[in-house]
Amino acid sequence: MKIFCIGRNYIDHAKELNNAVPSSPMIFMKPPTAKLKKGYPFYIPNFTDDLHYEVEVILKICKNGKTVEKEFAHRYYDQIGLGIDFTARDLQSKLKSKGHPWEIAKAFDNSAIVGDFKEKSTFTDMNNINFGLNINDKTVQQGNTKDLIFDFDTLIVHISKFFTLQVGDLIYTGTPAGVGNVKPGDTLEGFLEDDKMFELEIK
Ligand code: ZN
């Protein structure tokens, strides 16, 4: 199982971190060990003082494929989920300033929270899905997939140019504005439309 993540895929989020808006999808990956096992507690790692949440819609790949064409891209994912791409923002800023890879800031153990999934067929329009994140009952992120710079099918086409998509792979499609840090005792709840897809307590 591979985990693909897309950086800066919502303009308002790229801007809040003073990043340029990309002209093609920016891909990074997390290893399978980044996925927090369901029901396990999440502990803030000791190597960061600024751990950021990023709520993201996740696609689950249902068909193996390479160099997928746009018109067939929709056949390669059948479930839509929601999760968190945890980011050690302090480490990431240092790495970015040196032009170094991001892995230790983005792909560490348990950095990928994967909530529940819904069948794709339960959504009428892939480009109009509301999602959001509440922390301690307060909404901190609110997004809609209509604001994606690169939509789901475009991501499938782009990723599969370089990597073979395999059944079970996940694609984190990017986070909207409103990222910030978490502290022990926080409770995070993610929503896809009106459905709660995960609840996570920070330790
Ligand atoms: Zn992200």
Identify the CA nearest to 105 among candidates 156, 191, 30: 30
Whether residue 147 is predicted with pLDDT greater than 90 in this model: the reply is yes
The distance of Cα 150 from the centroid of its chain, to the nearest Å, equals 14
d(C-alpha 142, C-alpha 114), whole Å: 18
Ligand 1 centroid distance, CA of 37 (Å): 19
Ligand 1 centroid distance, CA of 101 (Å): 15
Question: In this structure, what DSSP letter does residue 93 have?
Answer: H
Ligand 1 centroid distance, CA of 5 (Å): 6
SS3 45: coil
pLDDT score for 100:
96
Ligand 1 centroid distance, CA of 69 (Å): 25
8 A C-beta contact, residue 99 and residue 189: no
Q: With cut-offs at 50, 70 and 90, classify the pLDDT of residue 8.
A: very high
Ligand 1 centroid distance, CA of 151 (Å): 15
SS3 121: helix
Whether residue 7 is predicted with pLDDT greater than 90 in this model: the reply is yes
**Whether the model pTM is above 0.85:** yes
pLDDT tens string 96-129: 999 999 999 999 999 999 999 999 999 999 999 9
For range 118-147, the mean pLDDT: 97
CATH number at residue 95: 3.90.850.10
Which strand (E) or helix (H) includes residue 103? Answer: helix 103-106
Ligand 1 centroid distance, CA of 122 (Å): 25
Count: domains in the chain: 1
Ligand 1 centroid distance, CA of 9 (Å): 9
Q: With cut-offs at 50, 70 and 90, classify the pLDDT of residue 18.
A: confident
Whether residue 17 is predicted with pLDDT greater than 90 in this model: the reply is no
Q: With cut-offs at 50, 70 and 90, classify the pLDDT of residue 20.
A: confident
8 A C-beta contact, residue 106 and residue 30: yes
Structural domain that includes position 139: 3-201
